Structure 1
């Protein structure tokens, strides 16, 4: 039997904080509280084990170790207390997967209607994996994919199936 195109794993130890605010007005406070530079549109900034991703004109997503979520949530809420903002722990709402290996992009190409090959190394793309909304960005050795936890089993099955040799775009 041929090897899988990529290794698929669900990540359990990551926290996620959704930040909604006027980024032009509150960006500096967010960056300081998150400990990361504010990402440009369609980008993600990463430093060590934290990432801050641009999700929309007024939305960012902070991805960090689960154990640091409560402290970061408090810091962000304090920093944005004077702003019209929403800071919400969405860790339990989201599921995260890693797609690792030399052919990780091939796996995602089977599922996503976006040209992920054209995405810059610091890019973050909101798209779909088959019928599920998701966000995708580069990580060392592959990609990270987040989606709603309510469709985590569906996403895991999709990714695992797309990684199986002899399916879809795989020429072997």
Structure 2
């Protein structure tokens, strides 16, 4: 079996903020209506995290569960554990209408860190960053591509499609150029 490879093989940039690609990361898209019997147990079994509230992400170390839409959750976990997590979801949601798909190789994940990390994304996304709270997941766009991101005490995590990873890295590095902070 071959080893997983991230989209940009761990690309990094240091400007007024630090940008780095994380990967490979295990990711599952789970589609199920809120209130579905077994949904909370499925998310807990797959990630160890609680069911996220509206526009929130629950993070436990390298595992997370994020609310993406009224019937969609993004589950993040170590890449090697995706198959076991899918089995756990299937068992917890047995007999319930749902869809759980491994999207690990279809996504790219970036970290934006530093005291002015928000300025990198302020230039690229139509979000009121003054209102964005730690643990709030925002599904939006970064320039012209779909993205989701959330803040924590150290910065931001951004998820996008793998097919646009190089473009997004270019956007982030350009936005973080020394001398361009406001």
1:9-41: CA deviations, max 9, x gaps?
Answer: 011131100000112124323233232110100
8 Å contact 1:5–1:106 — kept in the other structure?
A: no
- Identify the range of structure 1 (23-32 vs 130-139) with the bigger mean alpha-carbon deviation: 23-32
Structure 2 unaligned residues grouped into runs of 5+: 1-13
Q: Counterparts of 1:117 and 1:105 in 2: how far apart (Å)?
A: 9
1:15 aligns with 2:26: yes
Tell me the residue number matched to 1:101: 114
Dislocated runs of 4+, deviation >4 Å: none
8 Å contact 2:63–2:78 — kept in the other structure?
A: yes
Tell me the residue number matched to 1:28: 40
Instruction: Give TM-score scaled by structure 2 length.
Output: 0.87
Given the alignment, which residue of 122, 125, 132 partners 1:112? 125
Structure 1 unaligned residues grouped into runs of 5+: none
Instruction: Give TM-score scaled by structure 1 length.
Output: 0.91
- Identify the range of structure 1 (67-76 vs 37-46) with the bigger mean alpha-carbon deviation: 67-76
Q: CA RMSD in A?
A: 1.4
> How many residue pairs get matched?
167
Tell me the residue number matched to 2:154: 141
Q: Counterparts of 1:17 and 1:116 in 2: how far apart (Å)?
A: 27
Instruction: Show the 5 A alignment for 1:1-172.
Output: 4-26=15-37, 27-34=39-46, 35-167=48-180, 170-171=181-182
8 Å contact 1:11–1:98 — kept in the other structure?
A: yes
8 Å contact 1:7–1:101 — kept in the other structure?
A: yes
1:46-69: CA deviations, max 9, x gaps?
Answer: 112211000000000001111221
